[in-house]
Structure 1
């Protein structure tokens, strides 16, 4: 049977939220489901103590994978037109480590659910796990219904290419706070292909300038 587990992203700054999430998983999903915490940064003293205290919780330690996603995100965002516009006024979270969550695709579980650290697990996961027999991704969000002005992608700009219509684009728009997926969907080679399209072919410009730095927008491109 394929291995299944839960990932989250955390550090000591959000320690209380992490504990709340772990407790909610234990109470509402299962007490023995393996959980892997991806380190947001190196502030992990409290997190490590919590890992040591729970038999089913581990800390993600493949730093080569983490670094690969860090570099991918930073190269892509550096190519976005807003990079030049915001040299002196970048948002404080620019070049954050949120994209580290995508290390899940090269992690320890064959199938997994990712929860943002400020989430709570409210019910069992059987329904979303079972659907991975049919799909590679399962989402539960409302990103696809947002107004064009704040949508993840610049829908009018993409439509001008003649490649896609709004009806094609909207079902692809999702956030990254909760998703269910599988290991191995993104290889090193595929990341290089994505960089070629985004940077060299300038498809990064399709990402709405209102959220060009957002890890969620990496998930839909």
Structure 2
């Protein structure tokens, strides 16, 4: 059985609703969805999906605990991660819970596409699932142009573990990928963990914890992977990120130079921003109307009606706010 997976808790409630609605807009209720819990803060999303029989929350506690332990062991092997994290947080592990998307490797679907909660589906996923007939891992993004958010670029061991050629072509964003169940059995995980403990952990980038680990797992295990951004003809491929400002919307679908996007990723925009907008704050961000359409697809009467002038999501703070912030009297938005 094929399905779509995502990772969420109540902090990303509005984004999760929009994602599920976008999937329903493409597939109706024929495509099953599995939500992997980031943590125990899932009361609101549990209520939301109670009336959606094709959507489930993953509750295999043995699998969840197994992946939790694996990730703790990975970071315990890293020479500097704990020190770096202590500079920004009191938590022992940074953004612990992001890795729980890995439960899909044990989960209910034989083949799946994982989508971050801050994405929206724009097209059927036939070409993605079709590639799983030939590869174990399929992605469609342009992360390969930026190694810095995947591995520690300055680690001398990095090019000992992976060739420069592989690093230029095989890295990917962990916000969208397709694979299948049981691709990382326990024995393989143990083998990867041993490699990390033998010194390879230093190549991992601590501030994108799930992304660096899953890239390492895929590349180090040698499974067959494919990035459609590198394989599709130039006149067929599309972008996927909210940072691209040239997409055109038609009937609430985005197009890139005439080609329909597979998905749009609102990467870099905080969950707080989406919450504020859904509460009625007139903060503008790229492709906001597309997001609001899917967020309120089944309850358009609840869609916020803005009457004030919109404020840009990335607007610079006022001079007064900057002065107060410098004096330690104001807290800036993150």
Q: Same fold (TM over 0.5)?
A: yes
Q: For structure 2, list consecutive stretches of 5 or more residues without a partner in the other structure.
A: 217-334
- Which residue of the partner structure matches residue 290 of structure 2? none
1:220 to 215, 218, 243: 215
- Which residue of the partner structure matches residue 39 of structure 1? 37
- Within 5 A, what are the aligned runs for 1:1-221? 3-86=1-84, 88-91=86-89, 94-146=94-146, 150-154=148-152, 157-158=156-157, 161=160, 164-199=162-197, 201-208=198-205, 211-221=206-216
3-state SS of paired residue (2:121): coil
After the TM superposition, list the runs of 4 or more consecutive aligned residues in structure 1 that deviate by more than 6 angstroms: none
For residues 112-166 of structure 1, the C-alpha deviation after alignment (integer angstroms, 9 at most, x for no partner) is: 01110111111110110111000011111222111x5x252245624663x6431
Greater shift in the superposed pair: 182-191 or 27-36: 27-36
Which structure carries more relative contact order (alpha carbon 8 Å, separation 6+)? Answer: 1
Check whether the contact 1:80–1:212 (CA below 8 A) recurs between aligned residues: no
Aligned CA distance change for structure 1 residues 123 and 203 (closer, same or farther; 3 Å): same
Higher-Rg structure is 2
Question: By percentage of residues, which structure has more helix?
Answer: 1
| Mapped partners of 1:87, 1:56: distance in 2 | 38
* Deviation (angstroms), 1:88: 3.5
Check whether the contact 1:82–1:212 (CA below 8 A) recurs between aligned residues: no
3-state SS of paired residue (1:81): coil
For residues 21-69 of structure 1, the C-alpha deviation after alignment (integer angstroms, 9 at most, x for no partner) is: 0100000244321111111111111111122111211111101111111
Give the TM-score normalised by the residue count of structure 2: 0.60
Check whether the contact 1:32–1:56 (CA below 8 A) recurs between aligned residues: yes
3-state SS of paired residue (1:133): coil
3-state SS of paired residue (1:108): coil
| Mapped partners of 2:21, 2:162: distance in 1 | 43
Check whether the contact 2:85–2:94 (CA below 8 A) recurs between aligned residues: no
| Mapped partners of 2:85, 2:176: distance in 1 | 31
Check whether the contact 2:105–2:180 (CA below 8 A) recurs between aligned residues: yes
Check whether the contact 1:29–1:125 (CA below 8 A) recurs between aligned residues: no
Aligned CA distance change for structure 1 residues 87 and 32 (closer, same or farther; 3 Å): closer
Give the superposed CA RMSD. 2.0
| Mapped partners of 2:39, 2:74: distance in 1 | 21
